[in-house]
A and B are shown apart, each in its own frame.
Chain A
Amino acid sequence: MRRARISQIGLLTLLLVFTLGSADTGVRYNDLSHKMMCACGCGQVLGECNHLGCPDSEQMLHELRTDISKGQSDTAILEAFQAKYGPTILAAPMLTKFNIVAWVVPPVVLLLGIFGTFALVRKWRLRTVATPAPSAVRGFDRIRDQIRKETEI
């Protein structure tokens, strides 16, 4: 019971950690401007596009400020930009339809790798047959013990 309560408190704390500050307008502006690319083709994120004579970044940032001041949600703003400038305007795929695959595959591959490695090691350990150490190794064991003692902090 006590453990469950501690887990619940821990979960709540984590949720707080990840959600606090998200509603701040300045933070939202900065966040959203880094979720889109500049339409001029310079290959920079909108919030960082600062090259001389860029025909698009100022206009796009102005639109972003207006949308935020109108109280639109992040998703609505991103969808509006996507509709106006095309799907490549988003700096990363949104969590929709096929695009979700982009986000899911890398962690799944890593997790599969970790589980696979655990399984492999377990299989190897089960196969390993303990063999008695030959007499010649005894000297090494003594030296190794001495090394361990001498190298302890």
Chain B
Amino acid sequence: MPTLGSFALLLALALSGYNLVAGAIALRQLATGARGRVSPERLAETARRAGIGSFIAVTAAAFALVWAAFTNDFSVAYILHHSNRALPTSYKFAALWSGQEGSLLLWAWLLTGYGFLLRLRHKVDVKLTAYASTILAGIQVFFLLLLNFAAPPFSLVSGTIPQDGFGLNPLLQYPEMVIHPPMLYLGYVGFSVPFAFALGALMMRYPGEKWIHITRRWTMVTWLFLTCGIFLGAHWAYSVLGWGGYWGWDPVENASLMPWLTGTAFLHSVMMQEKRGMMKHWNVWLIFSTFALSILGTLLTRSGLVSSVHAFAQSSIGSWFWAFLVIVLAVCLFTYVLQRDHLKSEHKLESLVSRESSFLFNNLVLLAACFTILWGTLFPVISEYVQGNKVTVGPPFYNRVAVPIGLFLLFLTGIGPLLAWRSSSFKSIRKNFILPVVAAFVTAIVLIATGMRPWQDSGAFYSLVAWSLAAMVTVAVGSEFLRGARVIQRHTGQNLFASTIQLTRRNTRRYGGYIVHFGVVVIFIGLAGSAFNQSKEQELNYKQSMTMGPYRIECLDYSQDSNPNYDTEYALLDVYRSGKKITQLAPEKRFYQASQTTSTIVANHSTLAWDLYVIYAGKDPDNGQPIIKVFLNPLVAWIWIGVIIVVLGTFVALIPNMSAALAASRSRVQVAEAPVLAATKGGN
């Protein structure tokens, strides 16, 4: 199998190389009108087929590695270092991305997979797809060069083959780790497709905005994967690392957030290009930056340039990524300089108080947030270069600098949909804004009246602002739904709920977007709760108890156990509220034999109000009693609920609109359809 895997990777490199070279020659011939021995159309077709073949070859390589993991083939060095016999089956599959070489193979597999779909669907626009396919082939060549020469996953162990492997990092032995990295990679890698289309469209001076229509779904799906990947990572950190938090502003976390921010900005600003033919330069650079940031994130975490507790796959391949990043930026810049006259805007911004300007400011704030994170991540390196010593840029910096930017973004989320395209009159602003603003003020007053003291610390102040803005945005989003649904209700006689469904189905993109905005609001509500986290640590013997908030936690038992994979110490805790037992928790501390490392298994009782988050912190060496650390984290569940709403909203936005004809046939009052349709298609 290792031989098959190595050969498959070499074959994939050859096929991708052919796709790149033959594709480039064919496109050059098509552009200049030159003819060779083979017609450019046939040459381009062979390039496309080679690209499809590269996916099959990389799939074979990935299969060979997974097979080696499942069959405990410890002659493969990668399997020796990232698996062992006692490792459960699902985690053996996860071994594919637990180390440097495997994760690069996963990247290459996903990249060729995306390329496979793109090349299969080439008829959507043969020439543009040929450009995109050739550009993707260039990216494939880079990753396959890495896999063949810098980080080969099928290297064999020299000397005697050990009987058992060193095991998988215990932190990765958690169910979410089976889906978090693939999700994140699907996001990172997926941005290659809109990038390839954007660069291809610019190279061929593609007329119109069709490339945006073609890539819209790609971009949204990619964004969705990245969103899920980021939040699965946050949930994993919350459940496994055992420090009571979900986001630590670690460089690896930051690396995933940066392309997400620019990707989000791109998703918003392409609407300006579609609707008004504006911001073409900006959009091209946004997608270039998003792709470059995906590569930069990988570079930061793998090169050792910045230190991270999450970098499970660090090595010296950073120089390869540097070189690739420089080449990518050089190609982008060269193409842009050559073709920038093609990107002339069809309209100009007419008013500062308009939907367009809200998109512009939304983009600005998203990019400012991205810059702040990049700046904070790189500042230790800059400091070392300038001052000769490294400094740490940790949570206090981001909380102070990035949180206000985030709140400003939340504010824009609320006001953007209330502004009209081109220009908004003062009268309409007053009419649309009065309710959301009142909601914000009422929320703030109610929170202060119920005991919140924003003047006591900055955390409480930010939380108050966040919850007030959340109320504002919720009312703004709700009123948008209500406004449209009432029009439909008036003309069709349906109830309000049915009207809302119909409204959403008529313009899924717009109303799906609003659902996403609402999800973001719910996430912010949850994030703001972190200002009121409480924690307590105590030794608990049999029948002893401790209180935390409204809960009483009583130690029922503590013991230890073992299985072939790990030894475990745990405590059994009964949780009471108002004298009534509500649940039993069993926090654990595991010791993995193969890797000789420990990990925490958190026990969490989650409700909408707060999480009772319990950690087994070990035994007191003097008396052998378990030490229990308890956190009471308010509103954490809202974050995960918010993510589910974001996912649902994105799915809604991906569904094609209900056709106007169908809508008309279902409507009882057909004459009034024109204004209804126009009302629901007013903007996104």
Bound pair (A, B): yes
* Chain A residues in the interface with B (C-beta under 8 A): 16-18, 20-21, 27, 31, 34-35, 37, 42-45, 48-53, 86-93, 97-99, 102-103, 105-107, 109-110, 113-114, 117-118, 120-121, 124-125, 127-128, 143-144, 146-147, 150-153
With contact pairs A91-B395, A92-B392, A113-B364 given, residues A52 and B682 touching in the complex (Cβ less than 8 Å): no
Known: A43-B308, A91-B394, A147-B682. A105 touches B375 (CB 8 A): yes
What are 5 A-B contacts defined by CB distance under 8 Å?
A: A43-B309, A51-B600, A87-B389, A102-B375, A117-B357
A106 cross-chain contacts in B, Cβ below 8 A: 368, 371-372, 375-376, 401-402, 405
Residue of B at shortest CB range from A111? B368
B203 interfacial by beta-carbon distance below 8 Å: no
Known A87-B390, A92-B394, A143-B675; contact A114-B401, beta-carbon cutoff 8 A: no
User: What B residues does A97 contact at CB under 8 A?
Assistant: 387
The reply on B5 being an interface residue by CB < 8 A is no
With contact pairs A18-B455, A52-B617, A102-B393 given, residues A110 and B360 touching in the complex (Cβ less than 8 Å): no
Task: Report yes or no: A48 in contact with B598, Cβ–Cβ below 8 A.
Answer: no
**One of B361, B383, B454, B456 near A117 (C-beta < 8 A):** B361
Docked Cα-Cα span, A21 to B391, in Å, equals 29
Distance, CA A86 to CA B394, complexed state (A): 15
B352 part of interface (Cβ distance < 8 Å)? yes
Q: Tell me which residues from 435 to 472 in chain B have a Cβ below 8 Å from any Cβ of chain A.
A: 435, 453-458, 461
A residues near B242, Cβ cutoff 8 Å: 50-51
Partner of B455, one of A21, A51, A114, A151: A21
Q: A43: which B residues are within 8 A, CB to CB?
A: 248, 250, 307-309
One digit per residue, 1 when the CB lies within 8 angstroms of any chain A CB and 0 when it does not, for chain B 340-376 equals 0000000011111000010011001101100110011
A95 to chain B, nearest CB (A): 11
B484 touches A (CB below 8 Å) = yes
Contact of B350 among A20, A21, A125 (CB under 8 A): A125
Contacts of B615 in A (CB 8 A): 50
Q: Which residues of B contact A87 (CB under 8 A)?
A: 389-392
For A117, list chain B residues within 8 Å (CB): 357, 360-361, 364
User: Could you tell me the distance between the alpha carbons of A143 and B681 in the complex, rounded to whole angstroms?
Assistant: 13
- Which chain B residue lies CB-closest to A45? B395
CA A105 to CA B397, docked complex, whole Å: 12
Q: Kindly identify which residue among A51, A110, A125 contacts B368, using a CB–CB cutoff of 8 Å.
A: A110
New contact pairs (17) apart from A43-B250, A89-B392, A102-B376, CB-CB < 8 Å: A42-B309, A43-B308, A48-B244, A48-B245, A93-B379, A93-B392, A98-B383, A98-B387, A106-B368, A106-B372, A117-B357, A121-B351, A121-B357, A144-B678, A150-B487, A151-B486, A153-B479
B243 and A49 within 8 A (CB)? yes
1/0 per residue, CB under 8 A from A, across B597-633: the answer is 0101000000000000001011000000000010000
Residues of chain B lying within 8 A (CB to CB) of residue A91: 392, 394-397
Give the nearest-CB partner of B533 in chain A: A48
Q: A20-B455, A117-B361 are in contact. Are A110 and B390 (CB under 8 A)?
A: no
A121 pairs with B360, CB closer than 8 A: yes
B255 CB → nearest A CB, Å: 15
**Shortest beta-carbon distance, A33 to chain B, in Å?**
11
Q: Is B431 an interface residue (CB 8 A)?
A: yes
> Could you tell me if B392 and A88 are in contact, using CB atoms closer than 8 angstroms?
yes
Contacts of B4 in A (CB 8 A): none
- Given A21-B457, A34-B395, A110-B368, A52 contacting B618 (CB threshold 8 A): yes
- Give the shortest distance, in Å, between A79 (CB) and chain B (any CB): 14
Q: Is the CB of B396 within 8 A of A146?
A: no
**Residue pair B397, A93 in contact (C-beta under 8 Å):** yes
In the assembled complex, B483 has its CB within 8 A of some CB on chain A: yes
Complexed CA–CA distance, A102 and B372 (Å):
9
Q: How many A-B residue pairs have CB under 8 A?
A: 166
- Smallest CB gap from B392: residue in A: A88
Q: Which of B231-262 contact A (CB under 8 A)?
A: 242-245, 248, 250
Contact B243 A44 (CB under 8 A): yes
Chain B residue contacts of A35, Cβ below 8 A: 396
Q: Is the CB of A153 within 8 A of B482?
A: yes
CB pair B455–A92 under 8 Å, yes or no, is no
B473 to chain A, nearest CB (A): 17
User: Is the pair A21, B456 in contact by a Cβ cutoff of 8 Å?
Assistant: yes
Q: What residues of chain A lie closer than 8 Å to B435, measured between beta carbons?
A: 153
A92-B392, A106-B368, A109-B368 are known contacts. Are A150 and B457 too (CB-CB below 8 A)? no
Query: Which residues of chain A are near B483, meaning CB under 8 Å?
Result: 151-153
Distance between Cα atoms of A128 and B422 in the complex (Å) = 12
Considering only CB atoms, which chain B residue lies closest to A116 in the complex? B364
The answer to whether the Cβ of B34 comes within 8 Å of any Cβ in the partner chain is no
The reply to whether the CB of B589 lies closer than 8 angstroms to some CB of chain A is: yes
Interface check B490, CB cutoff 8 A: yes
Chain A residues near B357 (CB, 8 Å)? 117, 121
Closest to A129 in B: B348
Q: Find chain A residues with CB under 8 A from B457 CB.
A: 21, 27, 31
**Measured CA separation A20–B357 after assembly (Å):** 38
The minimal Cβ–Cβ distance linking B490 to chain A, given in whole angstroms, is 7
User: B484, A151: Cβ atoms under 8 Å?
Assistant: yes
Enumerate chain B residues within 8 angstroms of A92, measured Cβ to Cβ: 392-397, 400
Q: Measured between C-beta atoms, what is the minimum distance from A98 to chain B in Å?
A: 5
> With A21-B455, A147-B678, A151-B487 in contact, is A110–B365 under 8 Å at CB?
yes
Let me know if B661 is at the binding interface, CB within 8 A.
no
CA distance in complex: A102, B562 (Å) = 49
Q: Given that A92-B396, A99-B383 are known contacts, is A110 also in contact with B405, CB under 8 Å in the complex?
A: yes
List, in ascending order, chain B residues with CB within 8 A of A89's CB.
392
Q: Compute how far the CA of A143 lies from the CA of B364 in the bound complex, rounded to whole angstroms.
A: 34
Instruction: Determine the residue in chain A with the shortest Cβ distance to B308.
Output: A43
Q: Which residues of B contact A21 (CB under 8 A)?
A: 453, 455-457
Q: Which of A98, A105, A114 contacts B386 (CB 8 A)?
A: A98
Contact of A17 among B386, B401, B454, B479 (CB under 8 A): B454
* With A18-B455, A20-B456, A151-B483 as contacts: A124 and B349 at CB distance below 8 Å: yes
B21 within 8 A of A: no
CB distance from A147 to the nearest CB of B (A): 5
Tell me the complex Cα distance, A36–B351, Å: 47
Complex CA gap A25/B174 in Å reads: 40
Chain A residue, CB-CB nearest to B428: A148
Q: Give the complex CA separation of A45 and B393 in angstroms.
A: 11
Once the chains bind, are A52 and B598 in contact (CB under 8 Å)?
A: yes
Nearest CB of B to A71, in Å: 21
Shortest Cβ gap from B9 to chain A (Å): 34
B674 at the interface (CB under 8 A from A): yes
Can you name the residue of chain A whose Cβ is closest to the Cβ of B348?
A: A124
Inter-chain contact A128/B348, CB cutoff 8 Å: yes
Q: Are B675 and A150 in contact, with the CB atoms below 8 A?
A: yes
Task: Please report the C-alpha to C-alpha distance between residue A118 and residue B357 in the assembled complex, in whole angstroms.
Answer: 9
Closest Cβ of chain B to A92, distance in Å, is: 4
Interface centre among B351, B357, B396, B487 (most CB of A within 10 A): B396
Which of A44, A90, A110, A113 has the most CB atoms of chain B within a 10 A radius of its CB? A110
Q: Cβ of A128: which chain B residues have Cβ within 8 Å of it?
A: 348, 350
- Chain A: CB-nearest residue to B589: A52
Instruction: Determine whether the beta carbon of A151 is less than 8 Å from that of B679.
Output: yes
Q: B residues 312-366 with Cβ under 8 Å of A?
A: 348-352, 357, 360-361, 364-365
Residues on B with beta carbons closer than 8 Å to the beta carbon of A121: 349, 351-352, 357, 360
Nearest 3 pairs between A and B by C-beta?
A43-B309, A91-B394, A17-B455
- Tell me which residues across on chain A come within 8 A of B617, comparing CB atoms: 50, 52
